[in-house]
Structure 1
Amino acid sequence: MGDRARDRLVSGEAWDDFCETLKVAGRVIDAFGDEPSDLERAEWYRFLSRLTRNGFERMVENCEPERPRLRDAPWRQSINVQSPDQDHLMCEFVDGRHEYRIRGNRGTLPYFVIATWSAPQPGDLGARDWAPVGVDGLPEFDPTNLTTTSFLSSRDLEFDADGNFELILSQNPPEKNGLALQSETTGLLIRTVYNDRSTVIAPTFEIERLDQPTPRPIRAAEMSEGLAKTAQIVLGYAELVRAWWFENLSQRPNTIDFSEATYLSNGGVLDRLHGFGCWQKPSDTALVVRFTPAECEHWILQVCNRWQENLDVYEDGQGYVTKFTANFEEDGSILAVMADRDPGLGGNWIDTFEHEAGVFSLRLIQTEGAPSISIQEVALAELEARGLAALEGVTPILSGGPSET
């Protein structure tokens, strides 16, 4: 960080480049041609606005080297099929040179996991214009290309009798209640997993730098970096949903694939299996999903839009089903119907909320294995009239099973 980054901010060049990069991100939807509906296009531009808000919260407001904070992801931000049953507390680092202490109390939360990550970023990121290179610049500078560098779960921590704990983050951490940082570490994420929010006493977490630096005003070069990081977050996630759709998910509609490589490519942690897929159906049909989850801490089947966001009904408890909300069949299996209206079969109805395509996923935390999944597409009116008998003769699409590396 030097004079060039400062000069770009003072002259307005950093702001101009930020705005131009947002324009580049906005045109990523052109790759989808006429495929997206008006609803999906409205969601796309709202998605970009949410990414911008997320970027500012993380990279401008919460990336002060002398004042680390753990902040929840912004409201209604659901990047990459974010679970409604998880909160995401984040702290952004410039690098991993410092040592930190997290103090907290688990409340009555059954499970959480703390992870550090890195992402490609050059040392002079605030001194350069990124809009001219567009997505071609992402291999060098992409805050969304997250690699988990270390993690531990609440099962690995030692708590006192009241649920309190301390955790040291350092390049030379202690053996107990320690988490390793690397020189390239750029952030920290705490995933808190709720079974039933109405009955859980929420945990508390606070972070501090061990050398206790004195807070200071922001510098021009730092604001130049914050603008660049925010713009690249928007561009990176826009390109991510395009690449995942065309190069992976849409090639195998109505299936879920447990690919460890896919999940870990965006900051995933190895305490869970997370399968992704593309779902497609006309509005007058339903998808009948069946699987038998293995024993696990938590699971969630989640239906999202094309941009990997929760559908707008998630605030009403719709668009997903979990281990703790599901109606199980007598044999322990799950029957879920994805449709625009409830066919009245019992089991579990997941409202697709006037969408005809999107991304869906099955996430299992601390599980013994990935289940096989059967999906049948059937006319919704037939399902309403005949019940499960309407599935006779409908060949199921099979997927899931053991995860791929």
Structure 2
Amino acid sequence: MTEIADRVYQNGERRVSSGQAWRDYCSILNIAGALIDTIEAPLDDLDRAEWYRFLTRLMRNGAERFMENNEPERPRLRDTPWRQGINFQSPDQDHLLCEFIDGTHDYVIEGTLGTIPYFVIASWSAPMPVDAGNSDWADNGVEGLAEFNPAALRTTGFLQSNMLRTDEAGKFEIIVSRNDPGEGHNWLPIEADCAGLLVRNVYHYRAETVPPQFDIRRADGSAPRPISLSDVSLNLARAGQTVLAYANMVCHWWQETLAASENQIVFDDEVYLSNGGVADRYHGFGRWSCPQDRALVIEFTPGTCEYWIFQLCNIWQENLDNYEDGNGYTQNKISTKLPGGTIRVIIAHQDPGVEGNYISPFGHKQGGMSLRLVKPQEPAPEVVLYDVALEELKQNGLDALKTLKPVASGVAQS
């Protein structure tokens, strides 16, 4: 492969008109697809089927974010593509994204709170060269992510909905800029290399909630213009590198980051914040393994917080398909709670009928899991897990756990 320092610069417009930008994009997709071969653990047919579907979701994500929503003169806060969740995205949380080339410009956001319990809007940066459209990237492969990585997001500023100045009708204005606008303004700071904005809307009861509204514009009143060849060259590069970056990230997490957390949840701020996390929550991750004849019984006490959710996900950090049916997760408003507020989660391929919150792995034998606590008022909780024979749990109930030594995890690391 070509060394990063040997990157050849070309004219972005010619790269598009000659078809080279498109060929490079397609080559990057091929490299991303082959990353499944780096997974050393056994993968079954379901894991492989979901991998290739995951790639198409990343393709939609990259295309919609950068080809459709990366116009410097016409900023938009747009929802992410349907069923395209990255990095254990909560089914109770919607993401709105606005992409920037860099942090050159100032913006004004006007909106209304709606009735949602909580949202947070953040600015972030990532290694994304503004001249990326002037080079081919496929030759560098995964090594090219050291210079150009849309997934290596770093949150540089954020505003929480409960901190906003609003009028009596719940309307607000936010100034997005590098310079502080002064007293009396809601200010979201950005840096010179700002890659964009992300809104996380956190729902408790989605059907009963009026979501907040956001309208963003350039402060200098810039007029929209037609798309150009140089726009396409840059945006194709960003779209392709997005697929490669997230495909590589989930493989790396499975092989490295989560390798030591089999049937455990680990709260690690450095891990969470490495992918655009916001410091308004604890977010713990781990791997789970549950053969057909076993059951996992997990217990934790979330304490006081705005919202919490436990999710069971596949290897690629996606919600299981049964989340659309209300399964695959449990959260603070729908969960069955034990005395003292303890939560018990039972993961098994059949419901053993014991007290708690049953989650079906929906045909999966392994995957990732996540415990998220938003605006916690207490330290992250300890998480205990029992690995028990399913038949014993069905026959003896919770007495089947008495002779077992649980695996203890949880508790924040910073």
What TM-score does the superposition give when structure 1 sets the normalisation length?
A: 0.98
| SS of aligned partner of 2:58 | helix
CA contact (8 A) 2:10 2:135 kept: no
**Which residue does the alignment assign to 1:201?**
210
Say if 2:390 is the partner of 1:380.
yes
Query: For residues 345 and 132 of structure 2, what CA distance do their matches in structure 1 show?
Result: 47
Query: For residues 207 and 350 of structure 2, what CA distance do their matches in structure 1 show?
Result: 27
CA contact (8 A) 1:283 1:355 kept: no
**Which residue does the alignment assign to 1:237?**
246
* Aligned-pair CA distance for 1:284: 1.6
* Aligned-pair CA distance for 1:20: 0.4
* Aligned-pair CA distance for 1:330: 1.6
CA contact (8 A) 1:148 1:268 kept: yes
CA-to-partner distance for each residue in 1:311-360, whole Å, 9 max, x for gaps?
Answer: 00111111000011100002210011011221111310011111111110
* Aligned-pair CA distance for 1:3: 6.9
- The one of 160, 170, 175 equivalent to 1:168 is 175
Query: For residues 65 and 187 of structure 1, what CA distance do their matches in structure 2 show?
Result: 11
- Residue 53 of structure 2 aligns with an amino acid whose one-letter code is R
**Which residue does the alignment assign to 2:165?**
158
- The one of 361, 370, 390 equivalent to 2:400 is 390
Query: For residues 247 and 324 of structure 2, what CA distance do their matches in structure 1 show?
Result: 24
**Which residue does the alignment assign to 1:30?**
37
Query: For residues 337 and 52 of structure 1, what CA distance do their matches in structure 2 show?
Result: 34
- Mapping for residues 138-287 of structure 1, pairs under 5 Å: 138-174=145-181, 175=183, 176-287=185-296
Query: For residues 211 and 153 of structure 2, what CA distance do their matches in structure 1 show?
Result: 27
Query: For residues 106 and 351 of structure 1, what CA distance do their matches in structure 2 show?
Result: 35
Query: For residues 45 and 248 of structure 1, what CA distance do their matches in structure 2 show?
Result: 22
- Residue 351 of structure 2 aligns with an amino acid whose one-letter code is D
- Decide which moves more: 168-177 or 19-28: 168-177
Say if 2:90 is the partner of 1:83.
yes
* Aligned-pair CA distance for 1:398: 0.2
**Which residue does the alignment assign to 1:50?**
57
CA-to-partner distance for each residue in 1:151-199, whole Å, 9 max, x for gaps?
Answer: 1101211111111111010111334301111110011000010011121
TM-align CA RMSD? 1.1
**Which residue does the alignment assign to 1:310?**
319
| SS of aligned partner of 1:6 | helix
- Residue 319 of structure 2 aligns with an amino acid whose one-letter code is N
CA contact (8 A) 1:3 1:221 kept: no
CA contact (8 A) 1:287 1:337 kept: yes
The percent identity for this pair of structures is: 52
* Aligned-pair CA distance for 1:34: 6.2
Say if 2:49 is the partner of 1:39.
no
- Mapping for residues 301-340 of structure 1, pairs under 5 Å: 301-340=310-349
Say if 2:105 is the partner of 1:98.
yes
**Which residue does the alignment assign to 1:295?**
304
**Which residue does the alignment assign to 1:60?**
67
Query: For residues 239 and 277 of structure 1, what CA distance do their matches in structure 2 show?
Result: 18
CA contact (8 A) 1:327 1:334 kept: yes
- Residue 392 of structure 1 aligns with an amino acid whose one-letter code is K
CA contact (8 A) 2:107 2:218 kept: yes
* Aligned-pair CA distance for 1:379: 1.3
**Which residue does the alignment assign to 2:14?**
7
CA-to-partner distance for each residue in 1:247-294, whole Å, 9 max, x for gaps?
Answer: 121222001110000000000000001001011121221100000111
* Aligned-pair CA distance for 1:236: 0.4
Query: For residues 224 and 205 of structure 2, what CA distance do their matches in structure 1 show?
Result: 38
Structure 2 unmatched ranges of 5 or more:
1-8
Say if 2:134 is the partner of 1:131.
no
- Residue 27 of structure 1 aligns with an amino acid whose one-letter code is A
**Which residue does the alignment assign to 1:399?**
409
Query: For residues 41 and 285 of structure 2, what CA distance do their matches in structure 1 show?
Result: 24
Query: For residues 294 and 392 of structure 1, what CA distance do their matches in structure 2 show?
Result: 25
**Which residue does the alignment assign to 1:16?**
23
Query: For residues 156 and 361 of structure 1, what CA distance do their matches in structure 2 show?
Result: 27
| SS of aligned partner of 2:340 | coil
CA-to-partner distance for each residue in 1:346-377, whole Å, 9 max, x for gaps?
Answer: 31001111111111010000102200000001
* Aligned-pair CA distance for 1:33: 4.1
- Decide which moves more: 389-398 or 50-59: 389-398
Displaced runs of 4+ in structure 1, greater than 3 A?
none
* Aligned-pair CA distance for 1:390: 1.2
Query: For residues 98 and 180 of structure 2, what CA distance do their matches in structure 1 show?
Result: 18
| SS of aligned partner of 1:288 | strand
Give the aligned length.
Answer: 403
- Residue 176 of structure 2 aligns with an amino acid whose one-letter code is L
What TM-score does the superposition give when structure 2 sets the normalisation length?
A: 0.96
Query: For residues 132 and 283 of structure 1, what CA distance do their matches in structure 2 show?
Result: 43
CA contact (8 A) 2:28 2:241 kept: yes
CA contact (8 A) 2:102 2:130 kept: no
